[in-house]
Structures are given as structure tokens and as C-alpha cells.
Amino acid sequence: MKALDSKIRSSSLMETIDDSNQIEEKFLDLHEFINQFKFEGDQILLSIILPMYNEEQTIGTVLRNLPRGKSIEIIVVDDHSNDNSLKEIERINDNNGIKVIKHDKNRGYGAAVVTGIKNARGKVLVTMDSDGQHSPYDLLEMIKPIFNNEADYTIG
């Protein structure tokens, strides 16, 4: 297996919040890159998995700042949060296609990641923390080596 340790060291999402026009512009390169690959109908090329536990304060911002598109799926795995995280997702999820999977009890971060992976349909899977510590603007540099068959996975 080929691995690539990405040297991306960007600011966290919470430090780089943008308005929606800037968000769309920042993802133009990502969409152009993904769209060069042939896919049929509702085929998903990129699954973004967010394990979540009590992220009421940040999950809305994180979700609003993720790329959208017919070849991108967003999966949030709620690890039995006891705050208003799910209400925050419902508030912003009107027709945005965010898939929410709920654990019936708290199983831990690793179990939430595994649940997301088991339910993902994408060719490439990305896990991101739901607290905004990672910037989604780094996604393109993380997935490029995988789509270009230069690496089986990247770590960043």
C-alpha cells in the first residue's frame, strides 16, 4: 500500500470562516478535479465522514463549509450526543443531502468512524473531525494523490 503523509498545515476551519460566495469559489478547483472523472448517474466519488459527539457549537459551521455536489456525499455519524447537535444539523439540512446516522449509545470516536465507512458509497473516503479543527479547503490536496493512483491513502 502506498501512503502519502501530506504536509498541509493550514489553519483550522474555525479560523478561516468565509461567506458562501467565497466558499463556492474555494471549491471550484475541487469540483473541476472531481468532474474530470467519468461517473454514471448517482455514483459517488467522494464521501466525507464526520464522526460527531456534542458538537452543537461547531457542526453547523463545519457542514456549511463543506463542498456540495452530486458526486460528493456527506455523512455525519452522531455518537449519541446529549446536546443539540442533531437539532443544529436539522436546522441547516433542508434539502442539502447530509446523511445522518445515529448511534443508539455512545460507542466512541473509532466506532463512529467505522459506522461512517460502512455506510459510505464513495470511491474515496475522507474522515474529518466535526469540531472544525481541519479545513475542508485542504480536501483537494488530500484526495488528488489517491485519484491519480499515486497513493492508496493520505494522512494530513
Mean pLDDT of 111-127: 96
pLDDT score recorded for residue 9: 46
Q: Which three cell numbers stand for residue 138?
A: 485542504
User: 21-59 as b/e, with b when 16 or more CB fall inside 10 Å?
Assistant: eebeebbeebbebbeeeeeeeeebbbbbbbbbbbbbebb
Spatial distance between the Cα atoms of 4 and 16, rounded to a whole number of angstroms: 25
Confidence of residue 6 (pLDDT cuts 50, 70, 90): low
Which residue segments constitute the domains of the chain, with CATH numbers given?
3-155 (3.90.550.10)
Is residue 14 over pLDDT 90? no
Q: Which three cell numbers stand for residue 17?
A: 470562516
Tens digit of pLDDT for each residue in 77-107? 999 999 999 999 998 876 568 999 999 999 9
Tens digit of pLDDT for each residue in 48-70? 999 999 999 999 999 988 888 88
Specify the amino acid at residue 20. Answer: S
